[in-house]
Amino acid sequence: MDNTGYCNDSFNSIRSSTSDEDMVEIAGSTLDFSNTEDVPPLDRDYGSGDNPGMEEVNGVPKLMDLLDEPVPGVGTYEDFNTIDWVREKSKDRDRHREITSKSKESTWALVNSVCDAFSGWLLMLLIGLMSGALAGGIDISAHWMTDLKEGVCLNGFWFNHEHCCWTSNETTFQERDKCPQWKSWAELIIGATEGPFAYIMNYLMYVCWALLFSFLAVTLVRAFAPYACGSGIPEIKTILSGFIIRGYLGKWTLVIKTITLVLAVSSGLSLGKEGPLVHVACCCGNILCHLFTKYRKNEAKRREVLSAAAAVGVSVAFGAPIGGVLFSLEEVSYYFPLKTLWRSFFAALVAAFTLRSINPFGNSRLVLFYVEFHTPWHLLELVPFILLGIFGGIWGAFFIRANIAWCRRRKTTWLGHYPVLEVLVVTAVTAVVAFPNSYTRTSTSELISELFNDCGLLDSSKLCNYDNANVTKSSNELPDRPAGDDVYTAMWQLSLALVFKMLITVVTFGMKVPSGLFIPSMAVGAIAGRLLGIGMEQLAYYHHDWVIFRGWCSPGADCITPGLYAMVGAAACLGGVTRMTVSLVVIMFELTGGLEYIVPLMAAAMTSKWVADAIGREGIYEAHIRLNGYPFLEAKEEFSHKTLAMDVMRPRRSDPPLSVLTQNGMTVEDVETMITDTTYSGFPVVVSHESQRLVGFVLRRDLTISIDNARQRQDGIVSTSRVFFTEYTPPQPPNSPPPLKLRGIMDLSPFTVTDHTAMDIVVDIFRKLGLRQCLITHNGRLLGIITKKDILKHVAQIANRDPDSILFN
């Protein structure tokens, strides 16, 4: 996704469009992105009516010594800023200590302590129930609207094709999808089912419905929730790393993404609903967090919930609760403690149970393409499985480069200014090209289901039209058989569908509609795998005496399962695009219910990752994070260059001196002047300008709020009032105005390193502690500062990338 248009549009369109007690961060003020100074924005907002209790911060007592009550907004963050993980965790520890100590004083306090401990599990239960219910509704609606493009049910327009013919007594087994109750648009409009006019009418109606659905989707996204476009996983990864994107997980985004996801999938575009379901589940998690004070007022705790919600999203998308937990751990989460692992598992379980209770596909399964294979695989089949892995890796690397190039072109040319037109043109091309081919006309999930299918005697698919002359009706396992004419026709159609899917997915992913990548990637791999599987099957049938088949594939035996090749190919291509490994294998075997196929899946997934990494190190989500300039410090990258902290810190030799506050030598006017004249988001506090001995660090936002609050609520605070960051206020002259003591808002233990610290250690500190800034000292004297933005710029320079692309170019 890009910043051009309105999806990420330097986020200007969002600041005025949401209500936002529902945001990831309850923020109120506007941020100027022209800030290119030392310290990237560090703060949080005033809260929508919330007055966060001023807990201890790193052992500091109350934030405002001049008042007995907390100051609204102090300790919160603005939009598009990074949270302070250390401070948030410290606040939570202090809150927990207070609750524990009070629990021994009274029965009511003990009950409150138990409720506080139970609240996390209750929240997980609610997220699982809400996400499962929404996923079931999305599945049912998308299935119905996809069939609506081809016809309508006379018994009730709300029935899809399968349910319409389910109870019909006039349906034959050979034509189980045809019944008098289901009418195509040609039958309804011109009264004909066959012939060129009927075909043209059905063709025209298919394209019109597709255009209508996509137009509604892109219009709703543009008008009500620009953040509802794309898959959402790159942004969720950034949010979980500690960044704040106001409104991205708000209630408007949830409502619009749920509706437009159904419309986008039903339009026939080459996209899936699995990635966006992760975004939907995270929206549910964020909104439900506001029911519990513990999570509403602590950004680090809220991100633990969002990690669990990401697991829920994959659980309902694939019916794979264990795979969802591993996906959250491997792919999206930045901080994943053991407690979050347990709660993620519980939430994914509840969500899967809820979806199973709804039974959206009518087959008692959680996904449309659940299959079971009965034939074991042979060791020699690892060779074609590895070939599929190589194909998946090459395709994944090609797709990432092509898609990023297209998205960059969208950002920098006129194309980005016409998102609605782009969606309509891509939809029209997709519908016009897809309709003549039955394998592209059907929904991608149904296509994958057919490709995964293990052919039986009762299958009516063209892919299963084998010569069954020598097969007895009573046989449980079908031997390898010669392919019929329909199989070869299907292979040609699948080959065309493969080329079409590979090309159209490149331009579809990143448009201004909800678009997932899992299903299109799996479809590409499943087509390639099925083609290879049929080829291997026919090779084994006609040349069973070859050395490679001798001893395990005798005539009349069921040696090759083409559906297994399709499944392995799907895993390989999905792994090549996303670089998932462990979670991918678990998701795939949960889909198939077959533990014995883990080794082929592991071989294909690892091969595709190795091949794709050899061509390009980034997965698709990391590539989009970099394209959009999100301040995300990738934990998987290794920093191997021998630079020191002094090489990266600011100020540089040509820069003006570092702006600092002194602990007792400034007036309110001096502090306000420094705030007005600079754009830094925080200031070190030193003993004096001469000594430069470090005392602490104070945030610009906290300074502004505290001074404004003191002027309004404390008598006598004027511009000439002295500002003290010391523990004790020295005696003042008789007629001087009262002093303003701000020691409470100062961080007394900012992270510091010496100027000779190696940068690889500094980078590790930033990654593992989630720091926003680190102060550089030499023999106790303050020299400079390194911020997360400086780290990202330095990493970009080392990788020969534009350092100015960091933080929303």
Q: What would the two tokens of residue 743 be? A: 């020691």
Banded model confidence at residue 309, pLDDT cuts 50, 70, 90: very high
Query: Is cis: bond before 651, omega within 30 of 0?
Result: yes
Answer whether residue 666 is part of any domain. Answer: yes
Burial class of 649 by CB neighbour count within 10 A (0 to 12, 13 to 18, 19+): buried
pLDDT exceeds cutoff 80 at 123: yes
Answer whether residue 554 is part of any domain. Answer: yes
pLDDT in tens, 353-393: 999 888 887 777 777 677 777 778 888 889 999 999 999 99
Q: How many domains are there within the chain? A: 4
pLDDT in tens, 476-498: 456 666 777 788 888 999 999 99
User: Per-residue pLDDT averaged across 395-409, rounded?
Assistant: 94
Asked whether residue 158 falls in the same domain as residue 235, the answer is yes
Asked whether residue 150 falls in the same domain as residue 106, the answer is no
Amino acid 195: pLDDT: 82
Answer whether residue 27 is part of any domain. Answer: no
Asked whether residue 109 falls in the same domain as residue 197, the answer is no
pLDDT exceeds cutoff 80 at 775: yes
User: Per-residue pLDDT averaged across 566-578, rounded?
Assistant: 94
pLDDT in tens, 224-242: 999 999 889 999 999 998 8
This prediction's pTM? 0.84
DSSP line for 138-184: HHHHHHHHHHHTTEEESS-TTS-HHHHTTT-TT--STTTT--TTEEE
Asked whether residue 520 falls in the same domain as residue 502, the answer is yes
Please provide the size of the chain in residues.
Answer: 809
Q: Where is pLDDT greater, at 457 or 35?
A: 457
pLDDT exceeds cutoff 60 at 12: no
User: Per-residue pLDDT averaged across 110-131, rounded?
Assistant: 92
Amino acid 213: pLDDT: 95
Between the CA atoms of 475, 476, 479 and 482, what dihedral angle is there, to the nearest 10 degrees? Answer: 70
Answer whether residue 633 is part of any domain. Answer: no
Looking up tokens 């609605």 gives 420
Answer whether residue 733 is part of any domain. Answer: yes
Q: What would the two tokens of residue 198 be? A: 């009927």
Asked whether residue 581 falls in the same domain as residue 611, the answer is yes
Residue 495, SS3? helix
Asked whether residue 222 falls in the same domain as residue 287, the answer is yes
Amino acid at 40: P
Banded model confidence at residue 28, pLDDT cuts 50, 70, 90: very low
Asked whether residue 341 falls in the same domain as residue 388, the answer is no
- Whichever domain contains 785, its CATH number is 3.10.580.20
Asked whether residue 650 falls in the same domain as residue 582, the answer is no
Asked whether residue 227 falls in the same domain as residue 330, the answer is yes
Kindly state the helix (H) or strand (E) to which residue 130 belongs, with its residue range: helix 107-148
- Of 705, 613, 624, which is closest to residue 238 (Cα–Cα)? 624
- Of 432, 428, 486, which is closest to residue 462 (Cα–Cα)? 486
Residue 753, SS3? strand
CB neighbour list of residue 297: distance below 8 Å, 6 or more residues apart: 50, 52, 53
- Whichever domain contains 199, its CATH number is 1.10.3080.10
Asked whether residue 532 falls in the same domain as residue 583, the answer is yes
Domain range enclosing 275: 125-163+176-358
pLDDT exceeds cutoff 80 at 200: yes
Answer whether residue 437 is part of any domain. Answer: no
Answer whether residue 365 is part of any domain. Answer: no
User: Per-residue pLDDT averaged across 732-744, rounded?
Assistant: 84
Answer whether residue 9 is part of any domain. Answer: no
Q: Where is pLDDT greater, at 32 or 803?
A: 803
Asked whether residue 336 falls in the same domain as residue 387, the answer is no
**Beta strands in 608-748, from DSSP E residues, in sequence order:** 661-662, 666-667, 682-686, 694-699, 722-724, 740-741
Asked whether residue 553 falls in the same domain as residue 684, the answer is no
Taken in order 66, 71, 76, 78, the sign of the CA dihedral is negative
